[in-house]
Amino acid sequence: MVIAAGDDSKVPAQVNVAIPGDAESLVAWVVDKPTLSRYLAAARRLRMVTPPDWPRIRVAVLRNFTVEPLDAYASVKGAAAGFAVDVRIGGYDTSMRDSLTAGSWLFEYQPDVVVIALSLENLAPTLFNRYLTLSRSQASEAAEQTVSSIRRIVAAINERTTATIAIHNFALPRNAPEGLAEATSMTSLTSRVRALNQELGAIASGMGNVFIVDFERIAERSPIDARNWLAARAPFTPAILEQLSDVYARILKARAGRSRKVLVLDCDGTLWGGVSGEDHIGGIRLGDSYPGIAYVGLQEAALNLSKRGVLLALCSANNEADVDEVFDHHPSMVLRKSDISAKRVNWTNKATNLRAIASDLNVGLDSLVFVDDDPHQCEMVRSLLPMVLVVQLPAELSELRAAIESLDCFDAVGVTDEDRRRVELYRNEQARQAAQESASTLDEYYRSLGMTAEVRRIDHISATRIAQLTQKTNQFNLTTRRYTTEELTQLARKPGVEILSIRVSDRFGDAGLVGVAIVVRGADAGEAEIDTFLLSCRVLGRGVEDVLLHATAIQAEALGYRRLHGTYAATARNQAVSTFYPDHGFSRQPGDDSGWSLMLGDSDPSVPAWFASVELPTNAQAGAAAG
């Protein structure tokens, strides 16, 4: 549904063309010829043909200029990502009133995402258009008022909703009011706008549910329509609409936990030019001059992704010794073996090798992005493994780095400490597996790890990671409920609610925050409902789930609950935990066919004996008696 707030009757005129009848075909039809008329027609048809099982996302747009037809573009790009996107656009220049009024359309709409698209030229016209007439103090005051207004809007939205917020930053001035001095003056309008954008970034950085839409960068690449801006305050060109709606779709995917986790790289023709087995280490193209510098750039882009928490893997048809020689001895190699979390360098077909890499890393095939220069290999993987995102490198070497840097499938709601340490965490896990193979019994192996566990309540530090786990964890996840940081923060304030996380470490290192349990009030008096119970795949099979369940029972009992109730919601990925509750002493109650119950205090789940220490929260949440 694409409507304007306050006037549901305003819909685009009919377009007399043959329009496809299903969502997937509609998206392909628009991609084939991305004209405004096709976007409008597709958005209108999507209301009728969007599959009912697609997640429905309500998007509200607060604006002070004409943004239409951004709504149609957002709906189509959302459909391309598998979302049914409803867009409601607020009144012209009513953002402050809409956000500060409790009964406004904005809060009645209950949006999942709020876009704040404000033009600085309209928000602070004197600052933008007559900057040189202002004193330094007047300019500073106007800038502070601008940031303060947006800060108030964000605070009001966070107070009354759990929405993800996307703030447009500001385009730089189209011309230079101070001439040549504009670029060098620290007090110029350009410098002032850049400082404002940094302030907006600071607002977002302190909140896990706020993103910045980098309109400054978009406007640099695609200038606004100056004539339409003057005539109708409508600055968006089709190129700008495409880029903005692409960013919105990325935000939707990130908040839904649909980011991919692994970048799988070919070697010959990808990490370096030439064939290592034929050209040998001295003949491959890799170095400080062209064409070798193009491959250095690709490796640098991949390394940067790894620092965001993306795992790197190799999948190459090659002799492993030849590849190892390049990694070990070529002076221009950026990537090292220590950066690689999994590899298959052999003569087995790449589809089989990709399955093995996914198994090694304990992720699904839909977590993989495969990069190769060979069109035949790419087509084979696309055909046999449609869940894998395949990137065929361009023939133009100057575009190699951009091919990696432009990937938008690795976005997440935030970058946590666990993300930055992910390569280290997987390397530690490989060391554990080696230790397990050398142990005579499983119990001996567990005891040799010297495991410690620390269970904590949610706080502002752990909230982002907890939200991330709810969005990304699929295998050991009893209910697969997804939460944003703001939703968790608000949920934690409710009486009778306990949100716990567990951090595990052993002699190989700190595994980080790896599990979450959420307890809420149940349907019956004295009953606690396990809303969420999940564990990262990195620590499966070591009894960590037993410790978390033990802590959940202890904390529920401390809150005054007498019974613990849990349900298992089956998905295509979590069958392995279908018997988790009966395996841990839960039983069916008469008349309850939807879940499992455990009487607290009788036989609470125990902690495995091989844990060296377990630390639980010291006190139950005050004022949260179950009644």
pTM over the 0.85 mark: no
Instruction: Establish if 620 belongs to a structural domain.
Output: no
- Please report the pLDDT score of residue 233 as a whole number: 95
Instruction: Give 486-527 pLDDT, tens digit per residue.
Output: 889 999 999 999 999 999 999 988 888 999 999 999 988 899
Q: Are residues 268 and 251 in the same domain?
A: no
C-alpha span between 214 and 278 (Å, rounded): 45
- Please report the pLDDT score of residue 621 as a whole number: 42
Instruction: Establish if 413 belongs to a structural domain.
Output: no
Q: Do 470 and 482 form a contact (C-beta atoms < 8 A)?
A: yes
Lowest-pLDDT range of 1-15, 483-497, 604-618: 1-15
Rg of the chain, C-alpha, whole Å: 27
- Tell me what percent of the residues of the chain surpass a pLDDT of 90: 74
Instruction: Establish if 418 belongs to a structural domain.
Output: no
Question: Among the three residues 208, 231, 255, which one is the final residue of a domain in this structure?
Answer: 255
Domain count for the chain? 3
Whether pLDDT at 272 is above 50 = yes
Instruction: Establish if 621 belongs to a structural domain.
Output: no
Q: Are residues 336 and 461 in the same domain?
A: no
Question: Among the three residues 220, 255, 290, which one is the final residue of a domain in this structure?
Answer: 255
Specify the CATH number for the domain of residue 41: 3.40.50.1110
Instruction: Establish if 312 belongs to a structural domain.
Output: yes
C-alpha span between 446 and 232 (Å, rounded): 69
Kindly state the helix (H) or strand (E) to which residue 21 belongs, with its residue range: none
C-alpha span between 2 and 44 (Å, rounded): 7
Kindly state the helix (H) or strand (E) to which residue 2 belongs, with its residue range: strand 2-4
Q: Are residues 269 and 251 in the same domain?
A: no
pLDDT (average), residues 467-473? 89
Instruction: Establish if 411 belongs to a structural domain.
Output: no
Kindly state the helix (H) or strand (E) to which residue 209 belongs, with its residue range: none
Q: Are residues 390 and 538 in the same domain?
A: no
- Please report the pLDDT score of residue 623 as a whole number: 33
Specify the CATH number for the domain of residue 324: 3.40.50.1000
Instruction: Give 541-574 pLDDT, tens digit per residue.
Output: 899 999 999 999 999 999 999 999 999 999 888 9
Q: Are residues 234 and 283 in the same domain?
A: no
Q: Are residues 87 and 227 in the same domain?
A: yes
Confidence of residue 2 (pLDDT cuts 50, 70, 90): very low
C-alpha span between 343 and 488 (Å, rounded): 37
Instruction: Establish if 412 belongs to a structural domain.
Output: no
Report phi then psi at 575, rounded to 5: -60, -25
Torsion of CA 186, 191, 192, 198, to 10 degrees: -120
Q: Which residue has the tokens 């069958």?
A: 575
Q: Are residues 498 and 572 in the same domain?
A: yes
Q: Are residues 201 and 291 in the same domain?
A: no
Q: Are residues 59 and 169 in the same domain?
A: yes
Domain range holding 470?
Answer: 436-615
Instruction: Establish if 509 belongs to a structural domain.
Output: yes
Q: Are residues 250 and 278 in the same domain?
A: no
Q: Are residues 59 and 126 in the same domain?
A: yes
Q: Are residues 303 and 199 in the same domain?
A: no
Instruction: Give 319-346 pLDDT, tens digit per residue.
Output: 999 999 999 999 999 999 999 999 999 9
Question: Among the three residues 194, 222, 255, which one is the final residue of a domain in this structure?
Answer: 255
pLDDT (average), residues 396-421? 85
Report phi then psi at 95, rounded to 5: -60, -45
Specify the CATH number for the domain of residue 516: 3.40.630.30
Nearest to 42 by CA among 61, 236, 33: 33
Q: Quote the strand ranges of 304-429, DSSP E.
A: 311-317, 340-346, 368-372, 389-392
- Please report the pLDDT score of residue 460 as a whole number: 85
